[in-house]
Structure 1
């Protein structure tokens, strides 16, 4: 076996798809790319995400306590990377990358129309935001675009490469302990 530095654990454990997070503050919307997130519990649906002070969106999230987590498909892969390579304090990312938006129902941050799904969130707990930049968000509304043809998602491997979803394995019948979940 080859030993890797412990600091590269995220390359092996990155759990979910790359997402885009939109915020809105002081009349301006912003969007960032995020890979460090995790589900914490089902009901209420709590999502942990790392957004640090190095991210322009951090200030807006701290101030407003709300955001939208959008899940892009493979067709947005290059845009997702490009959005992550610039800062909202220097550029209007929606304009630069042609991102289409629509208003959310419960938060001021916009939904990203070109994404597979959008989750409107409010900060549930920010006690870990100071030491770890970890925000616990509560999902308030979920919007799914069932008309999208491209449904594959991207999973970042931490080194500029991505794993792409390509099909599903249905083992629902074996998941007897969790059948009560929708």
Structure 2
């Protein structure tokens, strides 16, 4: 074994796909790319923890409006996702610049992203850890999936400018006898 610098730990435990966070400030929609998130609760009302901070233009909008949409892009949007992460909503209309379509959500003012496979309408459930850890706990209040979308492979940031694309799926449901609720089709 060789020592791994602590600054590289996240590269090996990143749990989920890169997301787009959509917010809306006085009717002006914005997007940001985000990789730092985690499922906190999956039964009943889903809770998702997200790391955002004052370095993100969307941070203040999310704190003020207390709502957003987490949109799950697929691999065909990877280049756009990286470009979205490399510019600021302060001076860029990201929906227009990257030819993405904002769609009215049902329960929040932030828009869905029509080109994404999944869109999760969210409200802040707990903001007590923002000042200490930049951790915001979001409650998913409505979820959408595009069943017609052919591309379903997600992208995962490796933490160094490279990405892993979902690939082969291993079906081990028959071995997950203790957690059968997770194996339902």
Q: Tell me, yes or no, whether TM beats 0.5.
A: yes
Match of 1:120 in 2: 121
Once the two structures are superposed, the pairs formed by residues 10-159 of structure 1 within 5 Å of their partners are: 10-42=10-42, 43-159=44-160
| Structure 1 gap ranges (5+) | none
In the alignment, the residues of structure 1 paired with residue 95 and residue 30 of structure 2 have an alpha-carbon distance, to the nearest angstrom, of: 7
Q: TM-score, normalised by structure 1?
A: 0.97
| Structure 2 gap ranges (5+) | none
1:103-128 deviation per Cα after TM superposition (whole angstroms, max 9, x unaligned)? 00000000000001000001000000
Residue 59 of structure 1 and its aligned partner are, at CA, apart by 0.6
In the alignment, the residues of structure 2 paired with residue 169 and residue 120 of structure 1 have an alpha-carbon distance, to the nearest angstrom, of: 30
Q: TM-score, normalised by structure 2?
A: 0.95
Q: CA RMSD for the aligned pairs?
A: 1.0
Q: How many residue pairs are counted as aligned between the two chains?
A: 182
Residue 4 of structure 1 and its aligned partner are, at CA, apart by 2.0
Match of 1:3 in 2: 3
